[in-house]
Structure 1
Amino acid sequence: MVHLTSEEELIWQKRMRLKAWLWWFAWLFCISFFMMCWQTMTRDTMWVFIYDAPTQAYDLLDRMFPPRWSYLPTLLKPLWDTLNIATIGTLIGIILAFPIAFLAARTTTPSVLFVRPIALFIIVASRSINSLIWALLLVAILGPGLLAGIIAIAFRSIGFVAKLLYEAIEEVDQTPVEALSATGASTLQVIDYAIVPQILPSFIGISLFRWDINIRESTILGLVGAGGIGLELQASLSILAWPQVILIVLLIFATVIFSEALSAKIRQAIL
């Protein structure tokens, strides 16, 4: 905005006076709200432990190193179980999410008033509950083991994959859809020949991305008894075997890096 002074000099201002005051009050509100939240969160904090944290962290790291490399063969089977939990759970989640995405998309749902809300409810319910909570509930129902972990990963994956996929379905080019519909093609034929080819690259990318996320999430499911390397981590923590703990952490870190590199290579090769 250009503002004229009494001497008719042109002075550029970014905002009008009223807008500038509104921005100033908005910043004041945000800072005040942040301070209030900070005081609420730190009200019961014992700062003596915070001040001593660097010393404690150094002492813990000193007890962790060097890692107990002789424990590595014991971790290979739990690590393989973790990979199976992530892979099988992702596969089940993808299979279930695919039809749910078509039921949730406005352009492909049989009923906007009845079917679509049910599909959206399934998506929201799946995304609202963390994999660890799903695993905790399923361990209580099915008992400890890999099955609870696999189903927990699958339940969590449904909402993630279905949400991104139904948004991709709604954004497809409608020209092939209208052309096939004009020839008298059925709804399944339209989906098969006009919609699926358009969303297939997105579907592959979403699935690989979810698998990559599930590799990370499945590593901690053992903390609640859902199998995998998390069981070994919990056991090592319970007996304060810090050289074993750091070895497990390093192994998880290496596995996550490998899964990210592998999913990137697959995406480049397919897409």
Structure 2
Amino acid sequence: MKYPTQWSKHSQQQSLFQFTLWFLFVVLCVFCWQQMNQDTLWYFVTDAPNQMADIGSRMWPPRWSYLDQIWGALWDTINIATMGTALGVAIAFPIAFLAARNTTPNQYILRPIALFIIAASRSINSIIWALLLVAILGPGLLAGIIAIALRSIGFVAKLLYEAIEEVNPLQVNAVRATGAGEMQILNYAVWPQVLPNFIGTSLFRWDINIRESTVLGLVGAGGIGLKLEESMAVLAWPQVAVICCAILATVVVSEWVSARVRHALI
């Protein structure tokens, strides 16, 4: 019996298959690059550093006196993120249990419906939700809150139902062996195992929503984004600099609060 003189991790067929996949990937990248550059005006791209330097010079120094006019809008942004997250989490909670294989009451009707809701929520950006809701409900905070909630449902529900499906079945069987009903099994065997994931996911989503809610005002959904749009419309770049600094500070504080709450609860 003859052995190969040189050891190889993959067979010749596997190596050829991998080479073909990489070749197709490179071809796809080249094609996408050509499509992207087809309508690109490279003069504007090369001139971008000069434009950035020009706008940066107009932003300096920031007009710190403008802070007094944005506190209310900044508070609205925090409220949009917080209330939207709370509403989204409340809706996502039952949807996650309906979507998980080991907790859904019906594999053929309820589970596909729950999975469809999760996919629909995750596939549409919060800006698109806000555009639709502003057209339906009119401009204001309500449209922003619902837009954040609709976007949060899919994110929270997907991570939660995956955690439900990964629970330790031994604990579930142990509680079931005592004669417990289905609700008691969920309460004493499933829920304690997924609670840390639920808390962490909810706080993480709130942290993300703080960022997303800052731009909802650009489409009329209220918050600090409305002030940003007003300042950019009149080319008040020192005010734009103040708004950007306020948004950055808000995001940093929200990350600190999220980390502290997660550490305290988990």
Structure 1 distance, partners of 2:72, 2:129, is 23
Structure 2 distance, partners of 1:20, 1:203, is 43
Structure 1 distance, partners of 2:172, 2:18, is 48
* 2:151 pairs with 1:165: no
Structure 2 distance, partners of 1:18, 1:189, is 54
Structure 1: segments with no counterpart, 5+ residues: 5-10
* 2:177 pairs with 1:182: yes
Structure 2: segments with no counterpart, 5+ residues: none
Q: State the Cα distance separating 1:173 from its structure 2 match.
A: 1.3
> Any residues of structure 2 matched to 1:174-253 within 5 Å, and which?
174-253=169-248
Give CA-to-partner distance per residue, 1:157-178, whole Å, 9 cap, x none.
1111111111111111122322
Give CA-to-partner distance per residue, 1:104-147, whole Å, 9 cap, x none.
11111111011111111111111111111111111111110000
Instruction: Rate the CA distance shift 1:93–1:50 in 2: closer, same or farther, 3 A.
Output: same
Q: How many residues matched?
A: 264
Structure 2 distance, partners of 1:165, 1:120, is 12
Other-structure match for 1:65 = 60
Q: State the Cα distance separating 1:40 from its structure 2 match.
A: 0.6
Structure 2 distance, partners of 1:171, 1:76, is 44
Other-structure match for 1:78 = 73
Please point out which of 10, 28, 37 is paired with 1:33.
Answer: 28
Please point out which of 99, 103, 119 is paired with 1:104.
Answer: 99
Please report the TM-score for the alignment, with normalisation by the length of structure 2: 0.94
Q: Which moved more, 1:31-40 or 1:236-245?
A: 31-40
Q: Which moved more, 1:209-218 or 1:33-42?
A: 33-42
Q: State the Cα distance separating 1:179 from its structure 2 match.
A: 2.4
Which one has a bigger Cα radius of gyration? 1
Please point out which of 132, 136, 139 is paired with 2:134.
Answer: 139
Q: State the Cα distance separating 1:14 from its structure 2 match.
A: 5.8
Give CA-to-partner distance per residue, 1:55-104, whole Å, 9 cap, x none.
11111111111111010111111000000000011001111111111111
Other-structure match for 1:8 = none
Please report the TM-score for the alignment, with normalisation by the length of structure 1: 0.92
Equivalent position amino acid for 2:121 in 1: S
Q: State the Cα distance separating 1:258 from its structure 2 match.
A: 1.1
Q: State the Cα distance separating 1:16 from its structure 2 match.
A: 4.9
SS in 2 for 1:184: coil
